Amino acid sequence: VEGKGSESSTEHKGSSGDIANPFPVPSLPNGNSKPGKPQMKFDKQQADFLYEGAKKVKIKAETTTDKVGKAFKYAEAALSLIECGIAMESEGPAAKSAYSVYSETVDLINFVLSLKSFSDVTTPLPGKIFAVLCMRCQSILNMAMFRCKKDTAIKYSRTLNEHFKISSKVAQAPSPCVARSTGTPSPLSPMPSPASSIGSQASAGSVGSSGMPATISTPVTIQNMTSSYVTITSHILTAFDLWEQAEFLTRNNKEFFAQLSTSERALALNSSLEDLVRYTRQGFQRLKQVTKTP
């Protein structure tokens, strides 16, 4: 990441002379790489105001014919949505609503990036810078979405671990039918016909034609819980993937981000959403000056 990172031994110099670290984790108690500005405070009324404001900007974006101008308008709306989510999280019980807003924001940024091939090899530097800012937004938003449901993920993890431990023991336990069949048959006992043998195995339902235990069915509740758990934890993988993509695009744009980090706190995967909004908004303003976008 461009700008000043933490003073760990893993840091290295970027091409523009700034301290770079692929996945910097700020070391200060406030979770940031250097003392920052006061955190923004919100309330429900402000959350509603920000959401309505974002909707109005999106409408303006829809009527903008210039693709670059349209992209900036949508990006501005995305930042307002993030601020709305921050306000909702500050209310505590509204965390679920915040998750929905962050998800909506990620989808909006995906749409913005689809308007133009910002990350293509032939894309001019300003376009790649725009893509980096958007991808970092998505990355940190995915981290925020995971935090919204972290407690649920922990609860599901414990339940699933317990379920699979029990299932494993059941699967390894010998089947009663198999145990009885291992004994030597009495000479006076008639040998069962192939048809009767097949019928007995099918009715038992615990042994297949190969003599192996049949598959244990998984309860629907466990299936749903597993699906939800994968969805929640996938936010972390998505965040790292997007961050790496953004880092790849910054290799020829170090100077822009180094300058940006002199006025705003450099971003990391665990940066606060407030810092993300300030950093990205300032980045868009600088980029507008470069591209002469109103």
How confident is residue 11, by pLDDT bands cut at 50, 70 and 90? very low
How confident is residue 40, by pLDDT bands cut at 50, 70 and 90? low
For every residue of 22-74, DSSP letters joined together read: SS----STTSSSS--PPPP---HHHHHHHHHHHHHHHHHHHH--SHHHHHHHH
Nearest CA-CA partner of 73 in 111, 102, 44, 103: 111
Torsion angle in degrees (nearest 10) through CA of 119, 121, 126, 129: 40
What pLDDT does 39 receive?
Answer: 54
* Cβ-proximal residues to 92 (8 Å cutoff; 6+ apart), any chain: none
Phi, psi of 91 (to 5 degrees): -85, -5
What pLDDT does 277 receive?
Answer: 98
Q: What is the mean pLDDT of the chain?
A: 78
Percent of the chain past pLDDT 70, that is, above it, reads 68
Phi, psi of 172 (to 5 degrees): -85, -15
Enumerate long-range contacts of 55-61, CB under 8 Å, 24 or more apart: 58/108
**Most confident of the ranges 89-93, 238-242, 252-256:** 238-242
Q: For the residues 209-213, what does the mean pLDDT come to?
A: 53
Percent of the chain past pLDDT 90, that is, above it, reads 51
